[in-house]
Amino acid sequence: MSQAAVLSLDAIAFERDDNLLFSGVSVALEAGDILQVEGPNGAGKTTLLRIIATALNPTVGRLIWRGEDALRHRQTYLQNMLFLGHLPGLKQSLSPVENLQWWRRVHPDNTSLESLDVLARMGLRGYEDVPCYTLSAGQQRRAALARLLVTEAPLWVLDEPFTAIDKQGVAELEGLLVQHAERGGIVILSTHQDVGIPHIRRLQLTDMARVA
């Protein structure tokens, strides 16, 4: 295990209904790493991300965050992580600015950037105050991704973050991920798209996971 590792997955395995979904997932991530979780549909990409987010417990193995068992110190671990699932996670009756303001109240440790400025940077100028149910799928994804611009969490766990956004949005998001890594953050993501990020690490999920 790397002495510089911030987050380590130690021989993680997961069974569902007595069926082994994956096993042997071991990887040590240092500050500045971006890890893409790959595999066919049903390989367990979302399941692994939910394990990393502590929404599921592994059948075998451990998560180690800064030398401590993440599950034993879950509160501290979660304070250092932002998890975005494959659904936008927005309250549909609220506007993008109301959703962002609510999230900021629940997660007070974030930047002082103005919510309207954040949403404008995410391409939602003019849509800040309309109910989210009136937005397109791509606009809703942008509203959810706005949290990336205000969070101070060093660990980002993102499940299919590029879903429903256009080429410009993909390029902008890739830039955000690279900037976060350059600041010493860590990104773990799943996506079916080709990611144009240099030096990205890849984890191929099989019954015995391999890391490149």
Closest C-alpha to 45, from 3, 12, 89, 72: 12
pLDDT at 1 over 50: no
Q: Give residue 40's identity as a one-letter amino acid code.
A: P
In this structure, the number of other CB atoms found within 10 A of the CB of residue 23 comes to 19
CA distance 111 to 175: 18
Residue keyed to tokens 């990887």: 27
Cα distance between residue 186 and residue 181, in whole Å:
6
Q: How far is CA 22 from the centre of its chain?
A: 20
Domain boundaries, the chain: 1-78+188-212
Rounded mean pLDDT, 168-182: 95
Whole-angstrom distance, CA of residue 125 vs CA of residue 116: 8
| C-alpha–C-alpha distance, residues 104 and 42, integer Å | 34
Determine the pLDDT at residue 210: 55
Confidence of residue 3 (pLDDT cuts 50, 70, 90): low
The whole-number pLDDT of residue 208 equals 57
Which tokens in the block code for residue 4?
A: 């510089």
pLDDT of the residue at 113: 86
pLDDT, average across residues 60-88? 94
Q: What is the pLDDT of residues 84-134, one digit of tens each?
A: 998 999 999 999 999 999 998 888 777 778 999 999 999 999 999 999 999
Of 153 and 109, the one with more pLDDT: 153
What does the pLDDT look like over 46-58, one tens digit per residue? 999 999 999 999 9
- In the chain, % of residues over pLDDT 70: 96
- What was the pLDDT predicted at 2? 47
The CATH homologous superfamily for domain 1-78+188-212 is: P-loop containing nucleotide triphosphate hydrolases (3.40.50.300)
Report how far residue 35's alpha carbon sits from residue 7's, in angstroms, rounded to the nearest whole number.
12
188-204 tens-digit pLDDT: 999 988 888 988 999 99
State the Cα–Cα distance between residues 143 and 136, nearest whole angstrom: 11
